[in-house]
Amino acid sequence: MAGLRDLPLDTCERHIRAFGRFGWKETRRTGGHAILEKRGHPATLSIPCSSRPVKRKLLKALLDLAGISIDDYRKKFR
């Protein structure tokens, strides 16, 4: 079973593309954050976009909201 240390440290752009492989679409950018939505899903994801990588703890929280397991995310993240 994968844990926090198994999540990739990378820019928001790479994570936006990875969430896109699960059907999430970037709908807007607001105050340095990319907002992602998925049709039929009640959650809205907010990913901070800066020069620093997205923190693993935040990424795990986003995955929980989206209903995606760490293992599945790692398989789709390239």
What pTM was computed for the model? 0.93
Helix (H) or strand (E) holding 34: strand 33-37
Q: CATH code at 72? A: 3.30.920.30
Average pLDDT, the chain: 95
Question: What would the pLDDT profile of 27-49 be if each residue is shown by its tens digit?
Answer: 999 999 999 999 999 999 999 99
Measure the CA angle with vertex 26, ends 24 and 6; round to 5°: 55
| Residue ranges making up the domain that contains 55 | 4-76
**Strand pairing partners for 33?**
30, 48
Residue at 41: amino acid letter: H
More confident residue, 2 or 25: 25
How many domains does the chain divide into?
Answer: 1
